[in-house]
Structure 1
Amino acid sequence: MTVATASHAVPASYGDPVPERVRVAIVGSGFSGLAVGIRLLQEGERDFVILERAGDIGGTWRDNAYPGCACDVPSHLYSFSFAPNPNWSNTFSPQGEIWQYQRDVAATFGVNPYVRTNAAVQEARWDEDAQRWIVTTERGTVSAQVLVSGTGPLCEPLIPELPGLESFEGEQFHSARWNHDYDLRGKRVAVVGTGASAIQFVPRIQPLVGQMTVFQRTPAWVLPRPSRPVTPVERFLFRRFPVLQRAMRGAIYAGREMMLFPYKYARPTKRILRAVAESHMRRQVPDATLRAKIKPSFDVGCKRILISNDYLPALGKPNVEVVTHGVSEIRPNSIVADDGSEREVDAIIFGTGFHVTDQPVAELVFGRDGRKLADAWAEQGMATFMGTTVSGFPNLFLMVGPNTGQGHTSIIYTIESQVPYVLDALRTLDRTGAGAVDLRKEVQDAFADEMDREMEGTVWTAGGCKSWYLDATGRNTTLWPTFTFLMRRRLARFDPAMYRIDARRTPDGAATGAPVAGAAD
């Protein structure tokens, strides 16, 4: 089904009251929340709500509206397989088009009436007696049998705790909360961080600012960005012959899966990738002194690989200085680097990423015995089964949870792999008459051990860097460490044997019906 592009107005239904009781409560309306909602509707399930904290749907692609924001996965793969968009303007989609695509998908598949905006979740607590999640939002409380967290790992900006930051008298903001009202023209701007966001906005604002100081704690490898406009002929062919777009998507997927080899399996391909990155740097940065500043010492892929054709040249412009020291202090009108040097600035822009291995949503979720998810993860790291279920948190399903991130391909593929697992769990509840399913601790522990083994020797853990992929203990709890089609195979069916299954209880707490297969003793 091809998605029709249309202008957007926020549906009035977004402001309807939050329902008091539903079968499924979905938190977040980004790609994850939309995918779950759409598939529920296709399964005939209408008893659900999507809780969105902002005033419109979109998640990451709504919030990250900084100059130059675009996807680093090809457009045909960074979209739902069931909703191809033949109208992409570029082979790598800009932020505005992706956000519009999400809104078009929601309208086309009829999800909008189930969305409630400005309904930030304040707490989600498991009620053992009722076998339901009690979800408290800014607009009321909803009781749900099943809770699906679609908040994702890139929802809460990370601003480092820098001494004196509160004393700064100029403008400051994170790239994910860009202040479009602030005029950067002629200003002295400090950019803190040189990750995936900074490499996109730095070349866009460099011509505007008077002076830019880029604080680079760790350099990153940059590869060429093979983007180009999609021609009108191509768009016509994709609309007229959808099979061509499906074939393109399949080819891109296969090519991306091959990218896993330099990360994990084949040392010669690592050298090839490094040679490409070094050649790209030599072509774009003729100044040998600057090249020495921005050339990483670790393996390509240890930190997130960046793709850009204009970031490296921007660093060589006369009004740009690259500082290879961290920030030690913020003063009312200046920034002091670790080496003691000081630079006066009018504005600070943080390109410092997100809370990934310490996801804030974990502070809001309370499972069995009132245990907070953040506390459970503090002991073992972000432990789950397939990044989807957590022991001690019945009927809770995480979308794009721990160890489901992608260093080489589209997260949309991950999302579409997880949704069938959630749906099959719902069928299991119906088929068995169960009230709750809770992952067995031994299954969770075995999966954590498996992930650690799979990560051994990979560029992500042995590439010579410290990245946001790693948690405080040094474990990679962020990425999926092998081919994504293997993930999809394992998530195709919900296995009751991996779960403690509790019979459904009556309102007075008594179990109903016969014991179910796999139920706890």
Structure 2
Amino acid sequence: MATEALGNGATLRIAIIGSGFSGIGMAIRLRRMGIDSFTLYEAAESLGGTWRDNAYPGAACDIPSHLYSFSFELNAAWTRTYAPQREILDYLRHCARKYDVERFIEYRSRVRAARFVEARGLWQVEIERDGAQKTIEANIVIAANGPLSRPALPRLAGIERFAGKLFHSARWDHGYALEGKRVAVIGTGASAIQFVPQIQPRVAQLAVFQRTPPWIMPRRDRAIGEPWRWIYRHVPLAQRVARAAIYWQHESRALGFSVEPRLLRAPTRFARSYLAHKVKDPELCARLTPDYVLGCKRVLLSSDYYPALAQRNVELVTDAIREVVADGIVTADGTHRPFDAIVCGTGFQVNDVDAPFEVTGVGGQDLGEKWRRDGPEAYVGASVAGFPNLFFVVGPNTALGHNSMIYMIESHIRYIADCIRTLQRSGARTMDVRAEAQRTWNARLQARFARTVWQSGCRSYYLTQTGKNTALWPGFTFMFRHRTRRVRTADYEFGRKPG
């Protein structure tokens, strides 16, 4: 196919890493462009990414269903306003089948390393599959494995000595029966506030170890009845109108987060009132009240977390953990609590981490080393200087605290598609973002953070140890869409050799 060639007649070969929303969406886009010369490499045995891995009890999206889908494939079958994990996973499988991209996926194929071969202008990608190693070559590598793909276990003294059951919420052990058990939950983030209410009625005793209380708003979830689903199936415009309304409602929150934090005073009062309404015990209410500005850390949605904490078999522990011992946990005050199981709801490795796999670029540059030293950084979240033809879907500084990540994913997919078209039109073999363009982009990003709520003093996974925000996009999502609508060729260097 004419669309499957690069400069000097080179055959276009694309490696996509990951088969979640980013990978499936990228594959669909390529097929729509008439490009079939690509492969998705997936480490697991099935597609789905985050929504395959996070199958803990109560797992669901915290963005309304109608907005949590591809814009070109709305889903009229959502049964709830906030879709549960299984429905989202089924939706992704539906998209893969409908657009015929699952046949391009190689399962059980974990990418271990990618090395750019300057003399040939291509990437060599090392893959481990079923215990065997192989190396494939690709002109373009697209990292679509996302920022929430590596669970973060807590660094606690003695955790390896625990003799009971220990697992992370993203690796939930459904074969382990919690009934009648003494269970510890470490962490009070987005996952924990969903599974704690689900397991609380099943366990004998539950201790929730909280380091910092989150701001929580009610989750106004309800069933979407068949009459509404019928309307969405037969009048697609109705769902698009609902989607647009939800988008702009959520987008307005960026005004308080990134433009004028004083606008957060009213929602802060509401959140305090909601807590006081749900938790009648003054002492427990005080320990659940955050001491930082709303939005500085991720705002969570739940209507059953507070009531679960108020149950008689639940203890909220706010003392720091001193160590984990064979039969339980010892806190800083010397209290020993015995447990049968420990569940870590401690999130994912987002900042102060290296690349998702070993990546070696021009001149032997190590991407992981660069990111460990300076914090993850890219140009428009997609390209990194010194690593030609390597693109990230939702790379550094593209996560959100207020709206749907699918919108950002689609923005990046369109941008990367334009990069590929630009390469083909130019007759070049490679494109590498200029170091100065990347520096300028990131300097402006960091300057914009200064007035945002995320820099108001709390510690969060948005920030590196030095306080640099390398996770979030500091503004409106439509501004990101506008900036990534097409490639600025002046910001890239194009290579036309070898050949």
Q: TM-score range by the shorter chain?
A: over 0.9
Query: 1:22 touches 1:143 (CA, 8 Å); kept in 2?
Result: no
Letter in 1 for 2:82: F
Q: CA deviation at 1:369?
A: 1.7
Q: Which residue of 2 aligns with 1:57?
A: 47
The question of 1:171 aligning with 2:161 is answered no
Question: 1-side partners of 2:208 and 2:278: how far apart?
Answer: 17
Q: CA deviation at 1:359?
A: 4.5
Query: 2:111 touches 2:128 (CA, 8 Å); kept in 1?
Result: yes
- In the TM superposition, structure 1's runs of 4+ consecutive aligned residues that sit over 6 Å from their partners are none
Q: Deviations over 1:389-440 (max 9, x none)?
A: 0011100100111110010000000011111111111111111111111111
Question: 2-side partners of 1:55 and 1:40: how far apart?
Answer: 23
Q: CA deviation at 1:22?
A: 5.8
Query: 2:16 touches 2:23 (CA, 8 Å); kept in 1?
Result: yes
Question: 2-side partners of 1:27 and 1:470: how far apart?
Answer: 25
1:143 pairs with 130, 137, 140, which one? 137
Compute the RMSD of aligned alpha carbons.
Answer: 1.1
> Which shifted more, 197-206 or 126-135?
126-135
Q: Which residue of 2 aligns with 1:28?
A: 18
What secondary structure, in the 3-state scheme, does the structure 1 residue paired with 2:465 have?
coil
Question: 2-side partners of 1:90 and 1:339: how far apart?
Answer: 44
Q: Which residue of 1 aligns with 2:345?
A: 351
Q: CA deviation at 1:269?
A: 2.3
Question: 2-side partners of 1:369 and 1:465: how far apart?
Answer: 39
Flag structure 1 segments of 5+ consecutive residues without an equivalent: 1-20, 507-521
Question: 1-side partners of 2:341 and 2:127: how far apart?
Answer: 35
2:33 pairs with 21, 34, 43, which one? 43
Q: CA deviation at 1:265?
A: 2.1
Q: Which residue of 2 aligns with 1:469?
A: 462
Task: Kindly report which structure 2 residues correspond to 1:196-235, keeping only aligned pairs within 5 A, or say none.
Answer: 196-235=190-229
Q: CA deviation at 1:342?
A: 1.4
Question: 2-side partners of 1:360 and 1:68: how far apart?
Answer: 31
Query: 1:151 touches 1:361 (CA, 8 Å); kept in 2?
Result: no
Question: 1-side partners of 2:375 and 2:407: how far apart?
Answer: 25
Query: 1:433 touches 1:504 (CA, 8 Å); kept in 2?
Result: no
Question: 1-side partners of 2:168 and 2:401: how far apart?
Answer: 23
> Which shifted more, 452-461 or 172-181?
452-461
> What TM-score, normalized to structure 2?
0.96
Question: 2-side partners of 1:361 and 1:452: how far apart?
Answer: 21
Task: Kindly report which structure 2 residues correspond to 1:1-400, keeping only aligned pairs within 5 A, or say none.
Answer: 23-139=13-129, 140-359=134-353, 361-400=355-394
Letter in 2 for 1:467: S
Question: 1-side partners of 2:389 and 2:290: how far apart?
Answer: 44
Q: Which residue of 1 aligns with 2:7?
A: none
What secondary structure, in the 3-state scheme, does the structure 2 residue paired with 1:79 have?
coil
Question: 1-side partners of 2:489 and 2:119: how far apart?
Answer: 22
1:492 pairs with 467, 473, 485, which one? 485
Question: 2-side partners of 1:326 and 1:117: how far apart?
Answer: 41
Q: CA deviation at 1:365?
A: 1.3
Letter in 2 for 1:468: Y
Letter in 2 for 1:501: F
Question: 2-side partners of 1:435 and 1:473: how far apart?
Answer: 38
Question: 2-side partners of 1:379 and 1:169: how far apart?
Answer: 36
Q: Which residue of 1 aligns with 2:5?
A: none
> Which shifted more, 136-145 or 174-183?
136-145
Question: 2-side partners of 1:326 and 1:157: how far apart?
Answer: 21
Query: 2:42 touches 2:109 (CA, 8 Å); kept in 1?
Result: yes
Letter in 1 for 2:338: E
Letter in 1 for 2:498: R
Question: 1-side partners of 2:87 and 2:497: how far apart?
Answer: 45
Letter in 2 for 1:159: L
Q: Deviations over 1:488-511 (max 9, x none)?
A: 1111111111011111312xxxxx
The question of 1:408 aligning with 2:402 is answered yes
Q: CA deviation at 1:334?
A: 1.4
Query: 1:262 touches 1:273 (CA, 8 Å); kept in 2?
Result: no
Task: Kindly report which structure 2 residues correspond to 1:475-514, keeping only aligned pairs within 5 A, or say none.
Answer: 475-506=468-499
> Which shifted more, 69-78 or 419-428?
419-428
Q: Which residue of 1 aligns with 2:4?
A: none
Q: CA deviation at 1:169?
A: 0.5
Query: 1:362 touches 1:372 (CA, 8 Å); kept in 2?
Result: no
Q: CA deviation at 1:380?
A: 2.2
Q: Deviations over 1:344-367 (max 9, x none)?
A: 111000000000114454441111
Higher RCO, 1 or 2 (CA under 8 Å, sep at least 6)?
Answer: 2
Q: Classify 1:22/1:65 alpha carbon distance in 2 versus 1 (closer, same or farther; 3 Å).
A: farther
Letter in 2 for 1:43: M
What secondary structure, in the 3-state scheme, does the structure 2 residue paired with 1:125 have?
strand
Question: 2-side partners of 1:451 and 1:340: how far apart?
Answer: 45
Query: 1:363 touches 1:372 (CA, 8 Å); kept in 2?
Result: no
Q: CA deviation at 1:63?
A: 0.3
Q: CA deviation at 1:131?
A: 0.8
Query: 2:353 touches 2:371 (CA, 8 Å); kept in 1?
Result: no
Q: CA deviation at 1:254?
A: 0.6
Task: Kindly report which structure 2 residues correspond to 1:437-452, keeping only aligned pairs within 5 A, or say none.
Answer: 437-452=431-446
Q: CA deviation at 1:338?
A: 2.2
Query: 2:70 touches 2:406 (CA, 8 Å); kept in 1?
Result: yes
Q: Deviations over 1:12-40 (max 9, x none)?
A: xxxxxxxxx96110000000001110000
Q: CA deviation at 1:226?
A: 1.3
Letter in 2 for 1:457: R
Question: 1-side partners of 2:355 and 2:169: how far apart?
Answer: 21
Question: 1-side partners of 2:232 and 2:425: how far apart?
Answer: 41
Letter in 2 for 1:396: L
Q: CA deviation at 1:279?
A: 1.1
Query: 2:197 touches 2:308 (CA, 8 Å); kept in 1?
Result: yes
Q: CA deviation at 1:455?
A: 0.5
Question: 2-side partners of 1:174 and 1:35: how far apart?
Answer: 28
Q: Classify 1:212/1:69 alpha carbon distance in 2 versus 1 (closer, same or farther; 3 Å).
A: same
Question: 1-side partners of 2:33 and 2:261: how far apart?
Answer: 45
What secondary structure, in the 3-state scheme, does the structure 2 residue paired with 1:248 have?
helix
Query: 1:263 touches 1:301 (CA, 8 Å); kept in 2?
Result: yes
